[in-house]
Structure 1
Amino acid sequence: MKFLKYGFILIGTLFLVLIAIGIFKRDFDSKASVTIEAPVQQVFSVYNNPLLLNHWLAEFHSLENVSGSLNEVGSEWTMNYKSAEGSLIKMQHTLTTYVANQTIGYDYANEWLNGQTVITFEAVDDNTTSMTMVQQYSGNGIIQNAILFLIQGSIEDVSQSNLESLKKLIESTNPDKLNGEIDY
């Protein structure tokens, strides 16, 4: 009986700690970067090509235009991701910054969270590009913030993995073959 009592106390304490985290920890940051052996124009073009997202973006399913056009600041898009269980997760994106070969920024939101992402592209030399992705996000409630606190390391790992996949895609293909199927 004592074991059961202490078990409930432990679970209750953990629950209260998570609630406290959800109340006080509301803003999260994530940063990922990669250096790619390709000119900045090529890296920017591949990153910005909606037809290639499924080749490097984890769990990507589809992209839907809501308003505006590609690369138009203020344009809105719905990114659809497929969860591990197979259901679609929708994320609304609004383009906030677009400077060709330099910066892309967007706000994103769904019923669970909202945030901003800024990606910068910097030429190291004529054939090397440094790419950095900075994300700031928060949950839409106490429970969401507590869960984000617990999984923030995984979010950073996925962002870094996506950039590594983009690097592999760019470095293992020829630019003139990027519109077709790519084998790696």
Structure 2
Amino acid sequence: MKAIKVILGIISFLVLIFFLTGLIVKETNYSAQISINKPIGEVFKSFNQPGNVQKWIPEIKSIDTLNLNPGFTGSEFRMVVNNQGQEITMTEKVLAYVANEKVTLFFDAENMLKTDDYIFSEKNGITTVTLNSSCESDSYIMACLYPYFEGVFQSQDQTYLNSFKAYLEKK
């Protein structure tokens, strides 16, 4: 009986820690970076052509333009993504667009609110793309989970950047 009380006490403690996570950690932040042996103009142009994104993010099944603004800031897109056999529809909004410098994208994907801030810089013909991401959720339970998956999110975005580099350097 004492063993059961100890086990229940440990489980209760872990559940409490899990639920406190959502109260304490409001957003999960991480970074990823890649250097590409191409000039910044070519990298930036290829990165921002909507038809190209499916070449380095194979999970994207379709991209539809909802609103295309001149200068791109404020443009909105609907994306259908295959996530482990399940289709997820998300919206993407361009929050900032500065040619050859920066693109900030906001994604709303079924309880995941994600902001990706891509910074482009060039030195000696090598372009560096730095991604600064933040994830939060409008669901309390999901907000409790995200801090524990920060490494998974970062690894996935690093994989996408590596795929982008491979695609671009083959061109």
Q: Report if TM-score (shorter chain) is over 0.5.
A: yes
Match in the other structure for 2:107: 108
Distance in 2, Cα, partners of 1:12 & 1:90: 36
Match in the other structure for 2:79: 79
> Cα distance, 1:18 vs. partner?
0.4
Matches within 5 A, 1:96-135: 96-125=95-124, 127-135=125-133
Matches within 5 A, 1:1-184: 1-57=1-57, 59-69=59-69, 72-84=72-84, 86-125=85-124, 127-173=125-171
> Cα distance, 1:170 vs. partner?
1.0
Is the 1:59–1:82 Cα contact (8 Å) retained in structure 2?
Answer: yes
Distance in 2, Cα, partners of 1:70 & 1:6: 63
Residues 1-48 of structure 1, C-alpha deviation per residue, up to 9 Å, x if partnerless?
444443333222211110000111112211111110011111112211
Distance in 2, Cα, partners of 1:124 & 1:52: 24
Distance in 2, Cα, partners of 1:162 & 1:115: 15
Distance in 1, Cα, partners of 2:57 & 2:70: 18
Tell me the SS of whatever aligns to 2:38.
coil
Q: TM-score, normalised by structure 1?
A: 0.84
> Cα distance, 1:71 vs. partner?
5.2
Is the 1:73–1:95 Cα contact (8 Å) retained in structure 2?
Answer: yes
| Equivalences, count | 171
Is the 2:95–2:106 Cα contact (8 Å) retained in structure 1?
Answer: yes
Distance in 1, Cα, partners of 2:70 & 2:58: 21
Is the 1:28–1:136 Cα contact (8 Å) retained in structure 2?
Answer: yes
Structure 1 residues without counterparts, runs of 5 or longer: 174-184
> Cα distance, 1:83 vs. partner?
1.1
Distance in 2, Cα, partners of 1:53 & 1:107: 16
Tell me the SS of whatever aligns to 1:97.
strand
Which letter maps to 1:120?
I
Is the 1:36–1:130 Cα contact (8 Å) retained in structure 2?
Answer: yes
> Cα distance, 1:65 vs. partner?
1.5
Which letter maps to 2:86?
S
Tell me the SS of whatever aligns to 1:101.
coil
> Percent of counterpart pairs with the same letter?
23
